[in-house]
Structure 1
Amino acid sequence: MAAYQARVSEFKELLSGPKIDFKKLHQMCANGIPDRPGLRCDCWRLLLNYLPPVTEEWPKVYTSQRALYKEFLQEMIIQPGRQHEGISRADVTFEDHPLNPNPNSQWSQFFKDNDILLQIDKDTRRLQPDIGFFQQATEFPCEELVDASTNIETLRKRVEHTLLNSEDVARNKLGISATTQKKKPQSYDFGHEVLPEGQEAHWEVVERILFTYAKLNPGQNYVQGMNEIIGPVYYVFASDSKVENREHAEADTFFCFTNLMSQIRDNFIKSLDHSPDGINAKMQHLMSMLGQCDPPVSRVFESQGLKPEFFGFRWLTLLLSQEFPLPDVIRLWDSLFADERRPEFLICVCCAMIVLQRDVILNGDFACIIKLLQNYPSTDINVLLQKAEELRKYL
């Protein structure tokens, strides 16, 4: 206990100084960040390049970035939510008519956005189902969206209205009259109750962040799996015991997620799969490292036809967020974010996962090994990280 309190004091001292010693910060975070109010939030903001090293500049950064995010919400979600509410036929011209074939028309963009939003909505509704956190109400909803008097269509309602309208069209094409009692299609019913008016669930906040990100990055848009990357970041900020961190979790998550995606975005762009920095090159690097550090296990992979696409694609693309319980993922990300050679260290961790299961692999068949790698067994994350450090020499 005394050693733990000493580590907490060391972190507090580092973060309260006039200028952050990044080398020391990386070294300390690599060993795990203590679960104390604000510590992990501040460290992750620094490691993800949201905050500068000079601490007196932090208030200015917070003020400007959080205000900027509010502008994004106004432009991308709040104002469009007003515009598409209550449009009458008399208000519609050919230029903004839904049937206007011009790909640059307002309605054409609206329909494109809907396609992206439907996928985001489906993914965020089922985010981290084991912990229930994302289904709970946030303390700090977007007041302008949840206030019924503003009559603004939220993203959740927009999706539900779109799905109901699609269901009606499908029924009418079959010669069936419009339904009197509308229900969401079964594929979008995850058994979660809709919160009362004036509240919004954490998953709705994540949905809003991802939709805003997609609108601001049209060249990349949203790709399935980004929800698994943003989930732990938002959870850390929105569940912190420090009120200020929870209050601004949405904006802070947006910028930290954006910075993180700038480093791993190639994994989500299919056209770059075969580039030197693409996901295929990373998987081959993983197999090459395995061949160097454990030749017998590597030979099993070759003889059994165990290709890295079967397991490594998900491991590397999603930063192992799907392989371990959320607390373990957060601990792993402390070390991952703190590593100056983050992509290479991730490969070391993945290789360590294989090596730590060598006994099972050496004595298993194809089906047994694939099941093991796709459903990785419970493990001590600190042991895994220690093994990854040992393998660093094979980079």
Structure 2
Amino acid sequence: MMNNTNRDSEENQRKKESTVTSLLDSRFNQTLKNVQGLLKGRSIPGKILLTRRSDPSLQELSPEYERSSSFKDAGSSDRVTKEVEEEVQITSNANKNTNVNKLKTSTSNIENTSKEVQKSTMGARATDSTRVMKFTKVLSGTTVVLENLRELAWSGVPDYMRPDVWRLLLGYAPPNSDRKEGVLRRKRLEYLDFVSRYYDIPDTDRSDDEINMLRQIAVDCPRTVPDVTFFHEPQVQKSLERILYTWAIRHPASGYVQGINDLATPFLVVFLSEYLEGGMDNWSVCNLSPEKISNIEADCYWCLSKLLDGMQDHYTFAQPGIQRLVFKLKELVRRIDEPVSRHVEEQGLEFLQFAFRWFNCLLIREIPFHLVTRLWDTYLAEGDALPEFLVYIFASFLLTWSDKLQMLDFQELVMFLQHLPTQKWTHAELEMVLSRAFMWHSMFNNSPSHLAS
């Protein structure tokens, strides 16, 4: 009798589990349809929500982008936020691991975001007075709480605060304000020592490999961000050369790899902004003292080192880290937008043929340079999780042109993906890409079975 009772109990338990699993699968499939629907022009929720706006500059958006970022159909922030939280809760429950707390925290400033985006064609939510006050409060403490700073920085950093915030996010500057000046002074002197030992020496003291590496860097520096005249200045190129060569000598496992020169440019611009006023088009480093230039270079060197420490295998032999992430990107696109994935495969185009450069240069060559520092606010706020989050950003970036891609043959796909129509992009388009990426990351990252075949 006792055994029969146990068997009945186990059978009932199995039926309940089967019912729950079926319900979760059904809900997940519906959620997936919702995500795919977002690519057909519905409003896109996420870390930052863009609502209907009357800004005339939106008329300048490219036709390719208009499909995926239809502001006309955008609903209310409250409704959209609720839908996202419900979808994230459903998918996270399937794996009994939720990311809802982060999502709720990130959407607490949505009303301020919408107002600020409506005010400015730059999409500079970071300049909203309420957010500036929040940054000021976090940064003014004796010890900066980095988690709070990351939450704020994810959605953009005020320009004049960016140098301090980036140093903190990368762990270059200590969160304890009493130690900050001492640490920076010591690290800057350390960089000076590196330069004198490795760079300011005759070629007769270098190995053949070091001479070849220095020559390659000297060739690449003038090619770096060619459409920004500021980088044409000989002094700027010389600073970039010193930073890259010193970094390469200090990191022999990878040495210099083409693409790392691009990664140094956001740091150079941000740390120069502490000493130069106005827009970058009017900048000149000729009047800066050698001490200031040295400090700027040192900050760039150490921050570049901190960034690359988290993705070392991206730049070692054969760059296995990038190849691994390109494969994950392909799988994610297949799961989110199967028609695009199937079409690309049918045309014989490999993701590695276009996405390798995206990972190698972190999209710096794909978007207007004036948007790069905003994008990097999010990169640096992600911290150690950045490599995995790049997959979601790049999927969102690619699927901006979902419908367009399905109409192109192999040759047209190659040409289109090598010359994407982002020249007229503003912060609005970039925020849309980041919003989708955050939503998909929240839905899929803690439920890897949803990405399986």
Q: Tell me the TM-score normalised to structure 1 length.
A: 0.72
Q: Which residue of 2 aligns with 1:73?
A: 195
Measured after TM superposition, the shift of residue 372 of structure 1 is 2.1
Match of 2:410 among 366, 386, 390: 366
Secondary structure in structure 1 of the residue aligned to 2:171: coil
What is the correspondence of 1:42-121 to structure 2 with a 5 Å cutoff?
A: 42-78=164-200, 80-81=201-202, 109-121=206-218
Structure 1 counterpart of 2:259: 225
Aligned AA for 2:317? Answer: K
Q: Deviations over 1:147-193 (max 9, x none)?
A: xxxxxxxxxxxxxxxxxxxxxxxxxxxxxxxxxxxxxxxxxxxxxxx
Alpha-carbon distance in 1 for matches of 2:388, 2:243: 28
Q: Report the counterpart of residue 296 of structure 2 in structure 1.
A: 249
Partner of 1:394: 444
CA contact 1:286–1:347 (8 Å) conserved in 2: yes
Matched, 1:210 2:253: no
Match for residue 309 of structure 1 among 323, 348, 352: 352
Question: For the Cα contact (< 8 Å) 1:117–1:211, is it kept in 2?
Answer: yes
Is 2:339 the counterpart of 1:339? no
State whether structure 2 residue 284 is matched by structure 1 residue 235. no
Equivalent residues in 2 for 1:22-41 (5 A)? Answer: 22-36=146-160, 39-41=161-163
Q: Quote the residue 1:266 is aligned against.
A: 313
Task: Give distance in 2, aligned partners of 1:361 and 1:214.
Answer: 38
1:45–1:51 Cα contact (<8 Å) kept: yes
Higher mean C-alpha displacement, 304-313 vs 3-12 = 3-12
Question: Residue 433 of structure 2 aligns with which residue?
Answer: 384
Asked if the contact 2:343/2:406 (under 8 Å) is kept, the reply is: yes
Higher relative contact order (CA 8 A, sep 6+): 2
Letter of the 2:412 counterpart: C
The verdict on how the C-alpha distance between 1:234 and 1:110 changes in structure 2, with shifts beyond 3 A counting, is: same
* Counterpart code for 2:444: Y
- For 1:394 and 1:375, locate their aligned partners in 2 and report how far apart those are by CA, in whole Å: 30
Matching residue of 2:330? 287
Aligned partner letter, 2:395: C
8 Å contact kept, 2:192–2:294: no
Tell whether the 8 Å contact from 2:330 to 2:351 is kept in structure 1 after alignment: yes
Match of 1:352 in 2: 396
Aligned-pair Cα RMSD in Å: 2.1
User: 1:201: Cα distance to partner?
Assistant: 1.1
CA-to-aligned-CA distance 1:53-101 (integer Å, 9 cap, x gap)? 21211011111101111111221133x24xx6xxxxxxxxxxxxxxxxx
In 2: Cα distance, 1:360 partner to 1:226 partner: 31
Contact 2:217 2:241 in 1 (8 A): yes
Contact conserved, 1:266 with 1:272, CA < 8 A, in 2? yes
Q: Is the 8 A contact 2:254 2:317 kept in 1?
A: no
Deviations 1:245-280 (A, max 9, x none): 86621111110011111112211112452xxxx222
On the 8 A contact 1:238/1:247 being kept in 2, the answer is: no
- Residue 295 of structure 1 and its aligned partner are, at CA, apart by 1.2
Counterpart of 2:87 in structure 1 is none
- Number of corresponding residues: 301
- Which ranges in structure 2 are unaligned for 5 or more consecutive residues? 1-115, 120-126, 277-287, 446-453
Of 124, 128, 148, the residue aligned with 2:221 is 124
Which residue identity is paired with 2:418? Q
Higher helix share: 2
Q: Partner amino acid for 1:48?
A: L
Q: Aligned residue for 2:15? A: none
Aligned AA for 1:52? P
Matched with 1:97 is none
Aligned to 1:311, the other structure's residue is in SS state helix
For 2:182, the aligned partner's letter is K
Aligned partners of 2:397 and 2:237: how far apart in 1?
30
- 8 Å CA contact 1:48, 1:259 repeated in 2: yes
Q: Give the whole-Å Cα distance in 2 for the aligned partners of 1:345 and 1:218.
A: 27
Counterpart in the other structure of 1:326: 369
The residue identity in structure 1 corresponding to 2:192 is K
Give the Cα–Cα distance (whole angstroms) in 1 for the partners of residues 369 and 274 of structure 2. Answer: 15
Unpaired segments of 5 or more residues in structure 1?
85-105, 137-199
Does the 8 A contact of 2:253 with 2:316 survive in 1? Answer: no
Contact map agreement 2:322 2:356 (CA 8 A) in 1:
yes
Q: Distance in 2 between matches of 1:312 and 1:250?
A: 30
Amino acid in structure 2 at the alignment position of 1:231: T
- Cα gap change, 1:245 to 1:295, in 2 (>3 Å): farther
Q: 1:266 to 1:250 in 2, by over 3 A?
A: same
- 2:311 is paired with a residue of what secondary structure? helix
Aligned residue for 1:7? 131
Question: Aligned partner of 1:313: which letter?
Answer: F
Distance 2:269 2:128 in 1: 23
Task: Tell me the amino acid that sits aligned with residue 208 of structure 2.
Answer: F
The alpha-carbon deviation at position 118 of structure 1 amounts to: 0.5
Counting aligned pairs with the same residue, the percent is 31
CA distance in structure 1 between the partners assigned to 2:353 and 2:268 by the alignment: 29
- AA aligned to 1:261 is L
